[in-house]
Structure 1
């Protein structure tokens, strides 16, 4: 049990140490990346909606 607690403490210290080394994006970069993600999601949503509509229309035409 004591080894588990000791290992947990070392793990948390290592996590804090690694988080200090992380290169965090600036606010401007983060805003830009967010807009890119939202734009990509919107594009893919519209794309698949059109594909879905097209396939539904084709199935209706074929099945009469």
Structure 2
């Protein structure tokens, strides 16, 4: 019975101990990775938009003929 009541406390203590061991990324690394993600999203968005426009135009040409 007592073990079932103490395991949450033990879990929290162990979690805090593990989080203290964690090496968090530096601010510079976070900024660099954020820029990479944003640039990648912009490139992929532009590619998808161009493909959508091209396929839409091609479909209209095929249907109109």
CA root-mean-square deviation: 1.6
Structure 2: gaps of 5 or more residues: none
1:30 matched residue in structure 2: 30
TM-score by length of 1: 0.82
1:60 matched residue in structure 2: 60
Runs of 4+, deviation exceeding 2 Å: none
| Count of paired positions | 63
Which protein has the larger Cα radius of gyration, Structure 1 or Structure 2?
2
TM-score by length of 2: 0.81
